[in-house]
A and B are shown apart, each in its own frame.
Chain A
Amino acid sequence: MAVPADLEFFVDPSRCIGCQSCVAACSECDTHRGHSLIQLQYVDRRTSVQTLPVVCMHCDSPTCAEVCPADAIKRTGDGVVQSARKPRCIACSNCVLACPFGVPKMMAELSLMMKCDMCYDRTSAGLKPMCASVCPSGALTFTTRAEIERQRPRSADVNTFRFGGQTITTKVRMMVPREAAPEVLDVLSAMDERPEGAGDALDSVFEAL
């Protein structure tokens, strides 16, 4: 069985409300029951309530698998990068350090790296991953391209990311505003970007104190 080719995973951080539903649902997945592997990141907690769910982006050339010395991380034919094979993983954390998105988690008590595998037991049967099935705002969506274009005409999707000299294409797609959709998301330059005005407003509050 494989994930149907017409179903795609879309991540829209601007829709994320930080409700942690995906975090709770993730640990219900039967491929890693009891371990929540999704990470809900606060983008800039001092000035913003913006949150960002981080699922595995399932790179076409997975950096985690490239650096694995034990040959433990495999990518199935449908493009899903699977969690580490338990008999092979030596818990060296190379993948944890190498992944540009920060997805793999080292489970020290299991001596095993675990990562999001897009709920392979569900998606390979045509079901939504756990996180996408519970997300109330559609920040995590698992659907067809036609459906996402019908529902969100003002958004476009990007699946190419640049980290310095490394360019990555992924199976999971990131939603961006259509009118300013870039060809490539340059992640490193975006890290230094500040929301306009937000910092100034808080600075004046701190000065008043």
Chain B
Amino acid sequence: MSEAPDVPAAADAVSAAPDGRPAEAQPRWRRDFPIDWPEDELVARRDFTKFLVLTSLAFVAGQAWIVFENLARRARGRPPVVRVASLDEVPEGSALVFDYPKPHDARILVRTGPTTCVAYGEKCTHLSCAVVPEPGAGRLHCPCHNGWFDLATGAPLAGPPRRPLERVLLERRGNDLYATGVEVRG
């Protein structure tokens, strides 16, 4: 029974002003402070302040995180120095499997000459099979997929592996060999 038109569903419907005049005839303040949500673009001071405070807090938290990370890295310190074997236990041309730095990190020590030794991670960089040293040929062989590594450097020579083996840093103290770190490469 009412004469008012049906409420439009369009998103740009404009509220009728109390005096019933069209939007163009309304005073400026009515356009500045529209009742309709789609026309309202004002950012409230509280919203803006909240944005500033929260953003600043995020920056502060980020800085604190960087400081914390640096401290943690310092606390973690250097890798342990562990005695592997004496030179007498590894005759020239032979090899020895040891764990460094943790119990299940299998490494392989190869004595390549009278005074030279190399140590690598035992896991092939292709699919983690155990590599087999062949000191006579100067290579390491992975039997799973016929991969080959250079004994002097650990670099891949042939087969599926594309990355070099992990190298264990060795140090000789008197007649004993010590592992002092792990060099992860490529």
Contact indicator B36/A60 (Cβ below 8 Å): no
Contact indicator B9/A71 (Cβ below 8 Å): no
> Which residues from B are CB-within-8-Å of A181?
1
Contact indicator A3/B2 (Cβ below 8 Å): no
In Å, the complex CA distance between A193 and B44 comes to: 46
Contact indicator B4/A160 (Cβ below 8 Å): yes
In Å, the complex CA distance between A8 and B46 comes to: 35
Contact indicator A74/B35 (Cβ below 8 Å): yes
Q: What DSSP secondary structure best describes chain B's contact surface?
A: loop
Q: What DSSP secondary structure best describes chain A's contact surface?
A: loop
A69 (CB) vs chain B CBs: closest residue: B33
> Which residues from A are CB-within-8-Å of B8?
5, 79
| Size of the chain B interface, CB-CB below 8 angstroms | 27
In Å, the complex CA distance between A61 and B8 comes to: 14
Q: A interface, how many residues as a size bin? A: 35 or more
In Å, the complex CA distance between A62 and B15 comes to: 8
A48 to chain B, nearest CB (A): 25
B-binding residues in A (CB < 8 A): 2-5, 8, 60-63, 65-66, 71, 73-79, 82, 85, 87-88, 156-160, 166, 169, 171, 173, 176, 181-183
A-binding residues in B (CB < 8 A): 1-4, 6-13, 15-18, 33, 35-38, 40, 42, 44, 46-47, 50
